[in-house]
Structure formats: C-alpha cells, structure tokens
Amino acid sequence: MYGIKNAIVLSLSVSLILSMTSCALQKSETDSQATATQSTSAATTGVNQTVEQLVSENIHVNQIGYFSSDKKIAVINGQYSSFNVVDATNNKVVLTKNLDGKVKDDSSGDTVCYADFSEITSAGQYYISIPELGKSYTFKIGDKSIYTGIADGMLKALYLQRCGIELDSNHAGEYTHGACHKSMAKIYGSDDKEIDVSGGWHDAGDYGRYVVPAAVTAADLLMAYEFYPNSFTDNTNIPESSNNIPDILDEAKYGIDWMLKMQDKLSGGVYHKVTAMGFPDMTLMPDIDVDDMYVMPISTTATADFAAVTAMAARIYKDINSGFSNSCLNASLKAWTWLENNSKFVEFKNPSDILTGEYGDNSGSDEIAWAAAELFRTTGEKKYGDYFVKNFHSNGFGLGWQNVSGYAAIAYMFCDSDKIDLKKSEEIRKSWIEKADMFVDTAKKDGYFLAMHKLEYTWGSNMNVANHAKHLLVADRLSNNEEYTETAKNAAHYLMGRNTLSQCYITGFGSKQVMQPHHRPSLGDTVKQPVPGLVVGGPNSTLDDSVSKSKLSGLAPAKCYIDDMSSYGTNEVATYWNSPAIFVFGYLNQQR
C-alpha cells in the first residue's frame, strides 16, 4: 500500500464465501440479478413499461438484502411522490407507498427522500420502482442467513491474502498461486544476518507484511469471536477447516504465528516490518516476486501492539490450544520486558532507500496502554492494571492502526478481575457511551443514516465506517440501546450499496461490483473477477493519487471514489479494513 502507511487516518470526536463453489453460485446469482435489471417481463402489473424498466443508480438499496424483521429503507436521490416494491420473480407490485422526507446530505451533496418498506417481511427477491425514475438493483429479504455468504467471504479473503503457502485450487478455487516469500529475510543494517519470517498476510495491495496493522487485524478477529462466538463456523474451506476450531480463530492464529517470528528472541523486541526495498510491479504475482526481503528495526509500536495481541491470544486460546496459548503469553511477557527496558520511545522511520509503507507514529503511549490492559485482563497481575490506570486517558478511543486506545479501553472495561479500578472503568465507560451518542447524532443528520462526518472521507474511509459501527456495538454491550445497533446496521447497508454511488464496496458481491481494485493478485492472475471478499478503501476527498486528482476533483466527499486499479487512494484493499467489517457482520450473523 502506498500512502496509507505514511498518512494519519482522520477520526473525528464530532468491509469469498464458504467455498469457491458457493462463490460461483454467488456470481451466478449476481449475474442473473444484473440481467433482471436490464429488462422487465411484459406481464408486469401496475408498473410503467418505459422508464421503470431501467435501473437507476439514484435509488440506493442494500444490494445483498435485509432481514425480514428489520427496518428496511431505500434512499432516493431526488424528490418524488411515491414508490412501489416489486416482486422480482413475477414483476408484480406488492406495496405502494408515499416517499418521505426532504433531506440535504452534506457529505454527498444529494437531496434525498426515503422509501420505507419495513412492512414487507416475506422472504423473496424484490426491487424498488419509481415511475418517473426507474428501478433499483434487486435485493433479498430473508432470515439471518442472508449475510452468511458475504461475511464468510470477507473472512475467506484473509486466507487469500496469506503469504508463505501455496494457495491450491481445493481451497482457493481460481485464485491460486505458488508458495511465496519463503526465503530468509535480511535484517536491515546488520552484517548479513538473516532470519525466517515467512507467513502472515500480505497487508494490502502489495506484498509487505507489517506488525502494526497485522496486530490490529488479528485483534479484530479475536474480539469478533469473543463477542459473537456463534457467528463463526468451521467450514469456510480453508486448510484448517473441520478441525473443530472456528475458522476465524485459525485465521487469526496464522497471522499471529508470523508475528511470533518477528520477535527478537534475545531482547523480546519486535521488528517493525518485512518488505522489499520498494513496491513490485502491479501485475506481478506473489510467487514471482523474488526481490530480497528486509526486516526493519525494532520499534515501540510494533512491540507494544505485539504484546497486546499475544496477550489476547493467550486468553482466548487457553482452552482451545493450550500450547499456542502458552507460547503467546510467554512472548507477550517478553515483549513487555523490552518495553520496560526501553522506556524512551523507539520510533520507526523508513531508511532513505526503503520505499514501502512506513506505518509510522510519533507516540507509543496508546500501544503500551493496550498491552498493559490486555496483560492485566489475561493475567490479573496488579502491575499491569496499575500502569494502565496511571497512563490511560479517555480521549478519543481510536480503533485503527495508528490509535489503538479503543482496544485498550475495551480490554479494561470487560476485564472481570476483582482488582479492576471501578472508578477508572466507569470513567472509560461514560466516555465510550458519549462518543457512541455522538455517532448516533451524526447518523441522524446524515442523508444516508451514516455515522460519518464529511471530513472523515479520507484514505480508508470504509475503515472509519466499520470502526464507528464497531464502537457502537461495543456501546450496546455496555448500555443496551437500539439506536446503537440500528446505526451500526446502517453502516453495513452503506458498505453493501446503500450509498450515494450505489457501489457495493466488497469485491465479488452486490450488483454494482468493484472490478478494478488496487490489488496485485487481482491484476496479475488470469481470472476476470477480482479476488472476492476484499473491502476497498472507499471515498477519499484528499485525492491522494493522480487518477483521483484528474477524475474526482470538485466532487463532494462521499462521491470521491473511482473503481480504477491505479487509484490506490480510493480502491486499494487492506486486511485491517476487512477485519472491523468482519466484526460488524459477526453481530449481524450471531443467529446463523
């Protein structure tokens, strides 16, 4: 990934399926839906035969669908009087209602109205029709299984990002490649010292592997399992499937196993990243990338994030894989010792001849607080709790790679130790709820019901969308509130197409699909469709690449997206954009 690792992700205090067979089924279904949007049977009842035969991208729906019992609203760009809900199997109108509202949306510049069809609860396929405008893409109404494919697809996409192993056709379908980046890596600045750091995930559209974002990715997976264990199965067709361990834990372990290799065995410090000196050509497949790999120096942020996520793993795998749990705890304690012995912040900056992502930071205070909170929650040892209470401040609750204070807060608030500082816990809880309320207020003012301020459409804005939803779902655990869950659901609707561009932002899904992600395997292989299940960055009003500058200049923030492989500022992918969306869909699928 190009600039995201060098940029600060703004966050104001004011997102493949069970198997490649099912992927083919999803593609077939999508194709049939797309065909249905091009023509309507002459047997259509009560529907205009001209304008209404045409799909209008000004009718914005969740292109996957809605739960039968949930609130179901389409957002219409423009002012019209009434709408129809049409059964897509026979083109018969099943509901006619007036459109509501006249709302100016600051983020998109749209003036919108709303089609509320919540009373439709019968399972089936439908579309919205407006006589003067056209019809929407087709969507489903159904039970709690309607998001199973997309949720499993996002998790399966992490398997397809794995480094160091062959992706075979039994598990990867068409998206195969040989084992990659298996050679020993050179420790940068040493006298030709080499170590084995094979494994992990290709972080984004490039082939670098970085501890800081990998720790956040793994933490999201572990937290999703802790919150919604019934949402995750053992049958997403990865190599570890059918081992009686949920595949989400197998995937997290794959990432953590690599991180364990990144720890210096002598000091306990953790190397920041392993990459080549620069980015490979865009069409180069990972197993063809044979440039020398370099391990970059130890940093405070990498070591602290490592200590935090391995402490989490020690707790979560204790009764699942005791050997792995013990290894993680020992590694976490050793990393903490390094932090104690290196109290002065050790910053990572790219050397002048290294051009790959930096993931830099100017402070490690939030990372160390996260490590302390997780070690306290796992071990109950007073010294970690004391450090946390003394050094943690409730001032923003970041849930991204550069600010991990939200992870620290969650670890402490949900700690069941009798040694917890109740005053500190209540202080954090109150601040967390206040921010959740702010997100709800923001969503109420947004034309698309989204908890996003227009200034938050920056690099990786879809991460902001998913992380805000994650914050709201944690708040719901703290203070049961339907407004929190409804606002989180609206984030999912946005990612699945109910947005100003009618764009489904998850590859391989929806009617209007992302086809040209900034993702080397998707460009370098011979498969027409991109690797499925990847959440792309989304609208980015800072226009960080030349394509954005030339094609999107002057557009409203929420419209600053283009499906172009060269637009790394809007259309790249990242594991830590998938992981918070996996958490959100874990909530949606908890009754699967």
The catalytically annotated residue of 220, 247, 367, 563 is 563
Tokens of 523: 């460009």
The catalytically annotated residue of 206, 287, 456, 572 is 572
Tokens of 78: 């423009």
Contact present, 280 and 206 (Cβ < 8 Å):
yes
Q: How far apart are CA 313 and CA 222, in angstroms?
A: 7
Assess whether 563 carries a catalytic annotation. yes
Beta strand 185-187 with 194-195: parallel, antiparallel or unpaired?
antiparallel
- Calculate ∠ Cα 489-24-466, nearest 5°: 20
Contact present, 436 and 475 (Cβ < 8 Å):
yes
Residues 6+ apart with CB under 8 A from 96: 46, 82, 83, 84, 85
Residue type, 480: N
| Residue 526 burial class via C-beta count within 10 angstroms: exposed 0-12, middle 13-18, buried 19 and up | exposed
| Residue 577 burial class via C-beta count within 10 angstroms: exposed 0-12, middle 13-18, buried 19 and up | buried
Q: How far apart are CA 550 and CA 46, in angstroms?
A: 44
Partner residues linked to 134 by β-bridges:
130
Tokens of 216: 């956040």
**Mind giving me the DSSP string for 417-476?**
-TT--HHHHHHHHHHHHHHHHHHHHHHHHSTT--S--GGG-STTHHHHHHHHHHHHHHHH
Q: How far apart are CA 275 and CA 285, in angstroms?
A: 15
Catalytic positions are 563, 572
